[in-house]
A and B are shown apart, each in its own frame.
Chain A
Amino acid sequence: MTYSGAARVFGHEHWLQEPKPKEEVLGLFPGLRLDLWTQTQLARAYVLLSVPPDIAPRVLKQLQETADNQELLALYAAFPLLPSGPALLPLATEAVRSNMRNVFEAIALHNPYPAQYFDEAAWNQLYLKAAFINCPLTKIYGLAERANASLSRILSDFAHERWAAGRNLAPDAWQVVFSFVEESLLPDLEHLFIDADIRQQQAATLVCYQNPYADARLLLEHFPMWTEEAQEGELTWPSLAQSWYEDY
């Protein structure tokens, strides 16, 4: 009830007031965007932290089963702060299954918990679902560390489905394949390079640019139109995301 009642005391305004230096807050928990939290969210995290770790998984499960939309969101966003760590995994993977977009985003975006605790299959599900529902993928924490060969393969299959339907993936979806480029992925990259949308071409440029594989280099020489931008750091995954998502 305290957890619910927080909303009656605190509002949904952001808690961080200028001139409190934002960098200081961001440095506290890498990957966590505390600066985007509301006052109510912060108060709820405080309530969650007061639950003794040995009973936390049970208490949080009850909370999850009876929570409203905003309460779920505050719960999942606070996971990286809670001492129970891996014991919260069943709840966290349930969050990924949520059909409420903001609830899914609370576990998936700006949240270091999945990168730390999810196994490969769960991680890949999270990434794929985010790509499916058009979440800005660069906001997922730990992408480079958690990239894996299986994810590259699944992503390639997904791209083929989309292409068959006359649609593209978000260009930043490709950022997880760069260390796994091998023969089977080359045709996909070529497909991106000849796409009419320059953002697809730019995605292929970044993948090849970051990849040590010789054939990727060759491809880059063949399609050099955006290489300079990549070299000069003007073209990055975040800059690409910015040009793709409406309110990034």
Chain B
Amino acid sequence: MQFPQMPFIDAHAHMVSRTTDDYEAMRAAGIVALIEPAFWLGQPRTEAGSFKDYFSSLVGWERFRASQFGIKHYCCIGLNSKEANNEALAEQVMELLPLYLMKEGVVAVGEIGYDDQTAAEDKYFRLQIALALETQLPIMIHTPHRDKKAGTTRSMDVLEEMGMSPDRVVIDHNNEETVREVLDRGYWAAFTIYPHTKMGNERMVDIIRQYGADRIIVDSACDWGVSDPLAVPKTAALMLERGIEEAQVRQVCYQNALQAYGQSGQMKESDWSENKGIDQSQRFSGTQY
């Protein structure tokens, strides 16, 4: 497949679940930087130590792995809503978070928000909004897959109640039903392109036609499930093919993510534009020694 000659940012990618083939393909398709939000791993964690090692790998090993392929890796640190329901564990994870939020390349608290919209989820969502305010970090919101519209509205209500400024929050996993309110209330609206379900890239073209490119971000959310790490460049190719202006494509597939998460002070264009390309010297010739 031919991808447009422009740089891309995948603003939501769970690379711990992806292979080096994915990294190689992403770089070849023009992805220069990506953001990996902390999330759950499919298998529920039962120990705080598992979270510690996971957060450490986001700022350590995964960052290094990406650099071997010439991709600048950023991350969001947070307690996801699903695992917030294990309260005994959640308490310990909350104590870990401050250790990581001040690190270089941590661009937001995230992904946080609601899953089942339980009382425990609400409690840890609020505590983490307070942490974001304290550390002056943006927030990445995971909106629930079930009861999405109400859950998205509720997320924004709570954010505003806590005094978080909408222009420092990216609401992710939007669809046609949620986008208008999210944009009207002043938030960044991210769309996750799923290969078979939910948002497909055809629908994305219509959304840009209807809402324009301001404050809209396209991402892949590629993870351990069926997902496509090339969703961003593929969607860009389709948009151009369908006559969306190149400047708009660049906005939703690159510039907006940089602007939204750049508010952390931890993400600058010079981080990759001054990069000498793929740092082969950093690559080990085998898997381990």
Please give the residue numbers on chain A whose beta carbons come within 8 Å of chain B beta carbons, in ascending order. Answer: 1, 4-5, 7-8, 65-72, 99-103, 129, 132-134, 246-247
Q: Hey, which chain A residues are within 8 Å of B284, CB to CB?
A: 99, 101, 133
Given A4-B102, A100-B64, are A68 and B59 neighbors across the interface (CB < 8 Å)? yes
Given A68-B60, A68-B105, are A99 and B288 neighbors across the interface (CB < 8 Å)? yes
A34 and B52 CA atoms in complex are apart in Å by: 32
Q: Is the CB of B60 within 8 A of A8?
A: no
Closest to A245 in B: B281
Closest to A135 in B: B281
Q: Mark B258-289, 1 if CB is under 8 A from A, else 0.
A: 00000001000000000000000111110011
Tell which of B56, B281, B288, B289 touches A67, judged by Cβ atoms closer than 8 Å: B56
Q: Is the CB of A68 within 8 A of B281?
A: no
Q: Is the CB of B61 within 8 A of A100?
A: yes
6 nearest CB pairs, A to B: A68-B59, A100-B64, A4-B102, A7-B104, A68-B103, A4-B103
Closest Cβ of chain B to A156, distance in Å, is 19
How many chain-B residues does the 8 Å CB contact rule pick out? Answer: 25
Q: Is the CB of A67 within 8 A of B60?
A: yes
Q: Hey, which chain B residues are within 8 Å of A247, CB to CB?
A: 281
A7 and B265 CA atoms in complex are apart in Å by: 11
Q: Is the CB of A100 within 8 A of B60?
A: yes
Q: Hey, which chain B residues are within 8 Å of A65, CB to CB?
A: 52-53, 56
Q: Hey, which chain B residues are within 8 Å of A8, CB to CB?
A: 102, 104, 265
Tell which of A68, A103, A133 touches B289, judged by Cβ atoms closer than 8 Å: A133
Say yes or no: is B40 at the interface (Cβ < 8 Å to chain A). Answer: no
Closest Cβ of chain B to A33, distance in Å, is 18
Q: Is the CB of B99 within 8 A of A66?
A: yes
Q: Is the CB of B102 within 8 A of A1?
A: yes
A71 and B103 CA atoms in complex are apart in Å by: 9
Closest to A40 in B: B104
Closest Cβ of chain B to A93, distance in Å, is 14
Closest to A100 in B: B64
Closest to A70 in B: B104
Q: Mark B150-168, 1 if CB is under 8 A from A, else 0.
A: 0000000000000000000
Given A1-B102, A133-B285, are A72 and B52 neighbors across the interface (CB < 8 Å)? no
Given A8-B265, A99-B288, are A69 and B63 neighbors across the interface (CB < 8 Å)? yes
Q: Hey, which chain A residues are within 8 Å of B56, CB to CB?
A: 65-68
Q: Hey, which chain B residues are within 8 Å of A7, CB to CB?
A: 103-104
Closest to B104 in A: A7
A65 and B54 CA atoms in complex are apart in Å by: 11
Q: Is the CB of B104 within 8 A of A68?
A: yes
Q: Hey, which chain B residues are within 8 Å of A99, CB to CB?
A: 61, 64, 284, 288-289
Given A5-B102, A8-B265, A133-B289, are A69 and B281 neighbors across the interface (CB < 8 Å)? no
Closest Cβ of chain A to B155, distance in Å, is 28
Say yes or no: is B194 at the interface (Cβ < 8 Å to chain A). Answer: no
Closest Cβ of chain B to A128, distance in Å, is 8
Closest Cβ of chain A to B23, distance in Å, is 15
Tell which of A66, A71, A132, A134 touches B52, judged by Cβ atoms closer than 8 Å: A66
Q: Hey, which chain A residues are within 8 Å of B99, CB to CB?
A: 1, 4, 66
Closest to A1 in B: B102
Closest Cβ of chain A to B278, distance in Å, is 14
Q: Hey, which chain A residues are within 8 Å of B114, CB to CB?
A: none
Q: Is the CB of A72 within 8 A of B60?
A: yes
Q: Hey, which chain B residues are within 8 Å of A246, CB to CB?
A: 281
Closest to B284 in A: A133
Q: Is the CB of B289 within 8 A of A132?
A: yes
Closest Cβ of chain B to A136, distance in Å, is 11
Q: Is the CB of B282 within 8 A of A102?
A: yes
Task: Given contact pairs A1-B102, A101-B284, A133-B289, enumerate 10 new A-B contacts (beta carbons under 8 Å).
Answer: A4-B102, A4-B103, A7-B104, A66-B55, A67-B59, A68-B105, A99-B288, A101-B283, A103-B64, A132-B289
A246 and B288 CA atoms in complex are apart in Å by: 22
Closest Cβ of chain A to B35, distance in Å, is 15
Q: Is the CB of A129 within 8 A of B289?
A: yes
Tell which of B104, B265, B282 touches A101, judged by Cβ atoms closer than 8 Å: B282
Q: Hey, which chain B residues are within 8 Å of A134, CB to CB?
A: 285
A67 and B282 CA atoms in complex are apart in Å by: 19
Q: Hey, which chain B residues are within 8 Å of A71, CB to CB?
A: 103
Q: Is the CB of B64 within 8 A of A69?
A: yes
A71 and B63 CA atoms in complex are apart in Å by: 13
Q: Is the CB of B282 within 8 A of A69?
A: no
Closest to A71 in B: B103
Q: Hey, which chain A residues are within 8 Å of B104, CB to CB?
A: 4, 7-8, 68, 70
Closest to B285 in A: A133
Closest Cβ of chain B to A5, distance in Å, is 5
Q: Mark B61-80, 1 if CB is under 8 A from A, else 0.
A: 10110000000000000000
Closest Cβ of chain B to A25, distance in Å, is 26
